[in-house]
Structure 1
Amino acid sequence: MIIGILQTGASPDALKPTMGDYPDFFERLLADRGLEFRRFTVMEMDFPSSVHDCDGWLITGSRFGAYEDHPFIKPLEAFIREAYAEHVPVVGICFGHQIIAQAMGGRVEKYKGGWSVGPTDYHFGSGPDAETITLNAWHQDQVVEKPEMAEVIASTDFCSNAGLLYDDRMFTVQPHPEFKKDFIEGLIKYRGPGLVPQATLDAATEKIDTPLGTTTMAERIADFFLSHQTRAAQRRA
């Protein structure tokens, strides 16, 4: 199954030589799970010619705000809506989560409550199926009003719409399963000062060694793509 990675942001220059860029993170996260990848730098207007150019799509994180006026925002929203209409599966992470919600009728804003940084407990599901997965966060923007058709599948006290599911077509989460400890440490050092309150950076540093549920989330993302492909094949049979 070929997944097109729609790159909407970039790793800091100080970290890129040793850790790679955002598409690299996702290819490592989802390696050996039956997926192949193509890359499109949509933030530089490098868009696929069709939503059917790949079997599914993954939208990365970004420093940009979904509500900001950048040339790629409107075309990306149109691409998202077309993929939804054509039943082509899409996964969105952080900015990807936000831009999908915005494209589908939700609202994203710079959250007045401030930033969420570092290892954070995300509560998935409810009742006997409830599961808490710890993942790295790095955001102030968040989805404050979800689209009508979206189901909330994950939340925290800080971020009520931390995970959204659009039937079997789109799966999005606010945290970064692709960000490991060393990259968050790098963001704290190179991107955080002057942007994120120092107290928030210090608190994240204190809990930086918290074990993460990276593998669990990688499995959920891969299963979302692969199960969609299986259902599509069954419909064609």
Structure 2
Amino acid sequence: MQTLFIIKTGSTFASLSRQFGDFDSWIRTALGPVSFPVITVDAEKTEVLPAAEDCCGVIITGSHAMVTDALSWSRILEAWIPSLLQAKIPLLGICYGHQLLARAAGGEAGFHPRGPETGTVMLTRLPESKGDPLLGSLPPSFPVHATHAQTVLKLPDNAIRLAFSDHEANHAFRIPPCAWGVQFHPEYTEAIMQAYILEEKLRGERNESTTDTLLKNVVATPQASELLQTFARIVQKFSYIPGDHD
């Protein structure tokens, strides 16, 4: 039976993992009940990724690594992504996965020229997102949780830009027919976002005043959270048949 694979590209901070679990468990929870198997593959620990024909869908997680580090496991993963695009497997890249998808399809990723974006931010959908299977039913503007230093500097030529924030121009895009990248984290809860902000303060990445402001601005992001359930429905609808998704 075909499987939805969560490709895990790293782990959260140990303090968060003890309290909340890890990236893949957050995604699995946010997906809700599904009718197909869901299996996590740790990209850092394997050189063998699933064959496209064994996938009904793929989700690539975030990471504390940087795409530009071009680590060996990341290069293997980047080289694998085009096989999914060619086979038209529903694919969702989150944060690191978003950037890696863009690069694998001919775009560019690197450090954001304006620095990191952290906390709950407002996303605005572009007119091009109207009718998009993943984002098209969402409000014109909605809150999301984000934390990233790198970004998609240049989208692939065939990508459709879907949403942006005041800080980040390329918060969401689609490569037709069924591959999406989102810079934000639909799997984060309010508690996880707050814990990230506090952990980054402990690591000296921001001062107390900025931390307090970020914490006060954390709100629920129900529309963003719905994206993973919407993606699960897309996976169910596509149920991969070669050449059937033109």
TM-score by length of 1: 0.89
Report the secondary structure of 1:158's partner residue: coil
Query: Does the 8 Å contact 2:125/2:140 carry over to 1?
Result: yes
Query: Does the 8 Å contact 1:90/1:169 carry over to 2?
Result: yes
Cross-structure match for 2:119: 118
1:162 counterpart = 2:163: no
Q: Tell me, in whole angstroms, the C-alpha distance in 2 between the residues paired with 1:63 and 1:234.
A: 36
Cross-structure match for 1:206: 216
Cross-structure match for 1:222: 232
Cross-structure match for 1:186: 195
Q: Tell me, in whole angstroms, the C-alpha distance in 1 between the residues paired with 2:234 and 2:201.
A: 32
Unaligned runs of 5+ in 2: 131-138
Q: Tell me, in whole angstroms, the C-alpha distance in 2 between the residues paired with 1:44 and 1:170.
A: 24
Describe the superposition over 1:47-88 as per-residue Cα deviations: whole angstroms up to 9, x where unpaired: 424222321110000011111131111110111011111222
Pairs within 5 Å for 1:14-163 = 14-45=15-46, 47-126=48-127, 129=130, 131-163=140-172
| Cα gap change, 1:166 to 1:195, in 2 (>3 Å) | farther
Letter in 1 for 2:4: I
Let me know the Cα RMSD of the aligned residues.
Answer: 2.4
Describe the superposition over 1:157-210 as per-residue Cα deviations: whole angstroms up to 9, x where unpaired: 211111010112311101001011111121122234446333543332111235
Letter in 2 for 1:206: K
Which has the larger displacement, 124-133 or 4-13? 124-133
Q: Tell me, in whole angstroms, the C-alpha distance in 2 between the residues paired with 1:65 and 1:195.
A: 19
| Cα gap change, 1:112 to 1:233, in 2 (>3 Å) | closer
Query: Does the 8 Å contact 1:66/1:73 carry over to 2?
Result: yes
Query: Does the 8 Å contact 1:171/1:224 carry over to 2?
Result: no
How many residue pairs are counted as aligned between the two chains? 235
Report the secondary structure of 2:67's partner residue: coil
| Cα gap change, 1:211 to 1:64, in 2 (>3 Å) | closer
Query: Does the 8 Å contact 1:150/1:164 carry over to 2?
Result: yes
Unaligned runs of 5+ in 1: none
- Identity among equivalent positions (%) equals 20
| Cα gap change, 1:210 to 1:204, in 2 (>3 Å) | farther
Query: Does the 8 Å contact 2:6/2:41 carry over to 1?
Result: yes
Describe the superposition over 1:77-101 as per-residue Cα deviations: whole angstroms up to 9, x where unpaired: 1110111112222110010000000
1:127 Cα offset (Å): 8.6
TM-score by length of 2: 0.86
1:217 Cα offset (Å): 1.9
| Cα gap change, 1:71 to 1:121, in 2 (>3 Å) | same
Describe the superposition over 1:124-154 as per-residue Cα deviations: whole angstroms up to 9, x where unpaired: 2329956222110011111011000110011
Query: Does the 8 Å contact 2:31/2:232 carry over to 1?
Result: yes
Query: Does the 8 Å contact 1:45/1:71 carry over to 2?
Result: no
Q: Tell me, in whole angstroms, the C-alpha distance in 2 between the residues paired with 1:55 and 1:146.
A: 25
